[in-house]
Amino acid sequence: MSVWGAQPAFWRFGGSGGWVLWPASVVVAGVTRRRVARAGWRAPVPVICCGNAGVGGAGKTTLVLDLAQRLRARGVSVHLLTRGHGGSLRGPVRVDPALHGAADVGDEALLLAACAPTWCGRDRAATARLAVAAGAGALIMDDGLQNPTLEKTASLLVIDGQAGFGNGRVLPGGPLREPVREAAARAAAAVLIGDDMTSARGKLPARLPVLRAHLVPGPQAAMLADTRVVAFAGIGRPEKFFAMLAQAGIELAARLPFPDHHVYSSAELAQLHRLAVQLHARPVTTPKDAARIGPELCQGITAVGVSLGWADEAALERLLDEALAMGAAL
């Protein structure tokens, strides 16, 4: 499976599909343009949004975790906001891993809650109000660049270097939620993760700072250096996970991609374990997948996480300085 998973091939390579669906794309772009123009609630604390222009995984959650750790190191009481994709709760609710599972709040919320206080809610403004009332000194949004209900102090446009902006068209003619130039116009900077394999940087305004980062395997990868693995992932870009394992020197006996936010059945997990035994390998997956599977059923499965390595860490810290200063001036 390609990095695009089940998405139409013309979203990546172009073709007649984009042209045929062009009228619908114009409508979607217009609706989004009118929506984002609405005024939102201005929180009394800095609000940093990690969003993207298109659908699919770009690395937003990994970036949120990175920024949260940096703000906590500065002594900032940072709280995290997520819509809770894949969860049944509309919120707003503070995520409690002892009470909530992935079926309630989504897999990303559970990962975020392990790092900092996390709030799940489809109404971003209402969720932010609760977080501020609970003592948040800064808010970081996981996704929400196209959601106008909460005013952002600084937005970061996250770009997957391998996927870029696809064919550059808006849904349904392409993978974009809105035109790149419109998303970039509301961003303080872009964060390009991985090698720029589609020349995405050239599609951004010249004035927009671009921060470069790459994925760094978590410490679990070193433990698997001499181990054969059966790697499986139900994320936006499964191939990114597989490539990271291979680059870490791990032998992949099998690579099994699943749809984004896939809920694994007991039969599927049993089949994965049987395959691992047959191939004399260990089942390996992502922390997001492990969160959906749950601790009991995840026994015998190793979750390998990632972090970000920055080309210019000082530039990132300056951006955080500016965001905090702007928030303090509100």
Based on the fold, state whether residues 155 and 81 are members of the same structural domain.
Answer: yes
> What's the pLDDT tens digit per position in 28-51?
999 999 999 999 999 999 999 999
Does the pLDDT value for residue 64 go beyond 60? yes
Residue 173 domain-assigned (yes or no): yes
Measure the CA angle with vertex 163, ends 19 and 54; round to 5°.
Answer: 65
The rounded distance, in Å, linking the Cα atoms of 245 and 222 is 10
Same domain, 148 and 237: no
Residue 33 lies in a domain: no
For residues 258 and 124, state if they share a domain: no
**Torsion of the alpha carbons at 58, 61, 62 and 66, rounded to the nearest 10:** 130
Pair (179, 82) in one structural domain: yes
Q: Do 116 and 174 fall into the same domain? A: yes
What pTM value is reported for the model?
0.92
In a domain, 21, yes or no: no
Which stretches of the chain are DSSP H helices? 9-13, 16-20, 22-36, 60-73, 102-105, 107-113, 124-133, 180-185, 219-223, 238-247, 266-278, 287-293, 313-328
Residue 22 has pLDDT above 90, yes or no: no
Q: Which of the 8 DSSP states describes residue 169? A: P
Domain match, 135 and 119 both: yes
Domain shared by 140 and 276, yes or no: no
Tokens of 200: 């995405």
210 and 224 housed in the same domain: no
Query: Is residue 35 domain-resident?
Result: no
Share of the chain above pLDDT 90, in %: 83
* pLDDT class of 176 with cuts at 50, 70, 90: very high
Residue 190 lies in a domain: yes
Average pLDDT over residues 135-144: 97
Given this model, what pLDDT does residue 7 score? 73
* DSSP 3-state of 56: coil
Number of structural domains in the chain: 2
Interstrand relation of 210-217 and 306-310 (parallel, antiparallel or unpaired): antiparallel
For 273, phi then psi, to 5°, come to -65, -40
Whether residue 11 is contained in a domain is answered as no
3-state secondary structure of 111: helix
CATH number of domain containing 276: 3.40.50
Q: Is the pLDDT score of 231 beyond 80?
A: yes
User: Is there a single domain that holds both residue 175 and residue 324?
Assistant: yes
Give CA angle at 16 (14, 20), nearest 5°. Answer: 120
3-state class percentages of the chain: helix first, strand second, coil last, to nearest 5: 35, 20, 40
Residue with tokens 């997990």: 269
- Same domain? For 252 and 114 the reply is no
68: its two tokens: 């949260």
Q: In angstroms, rounded to a whole number, what is the distance separating the alpha carbons of residues 243 and 248?
A: 9
| Residue 27 covered by a domain | no
- The pLDDT value recorded for residue 2 is 35
Q: What is the CATH number of the domain that holds 97?
A: 3.40.50.300
At a CB cut-off of 8 Å and minimum separation 6, what does 185 contact?
Answer: 205
Q: Do 171 and 103 sit in the same domain of this protein? A: yes
The average pLDDT across 295-314 equals 94
- Domain assignment present for residue 97? The answer is yes
Confidence of residue 16 (pLDDT cuts 50, 70, 90): low
pLDDT digit string (tens) for 277-289?
A: 999 999 999 999 9
Range 237-266 average pLDDT? 93
Residue 3 is predicted with a pLDDT of: 37
Q: What is the pLDDT of residue 1?
A: 30
Matching residue, tokens 């990271």: 244
The burial class, CB within 10 Å (0-12 / 13-18 / 19+), for 85 is middle
Specify whether 293 is located in the same domain as 263: yes
Domain ranges, residue 260: 219-304
Q: Report residue 72 CA to chain centroid gap.
A: 20
| 3-state SS class at 5 | coil
Asked if 260 and 235 touch (Cβ cutoff 8 Å), the reply is yes
User: Mean pLDDT, to the nearest integer, of 295-315?
Assistant: 95
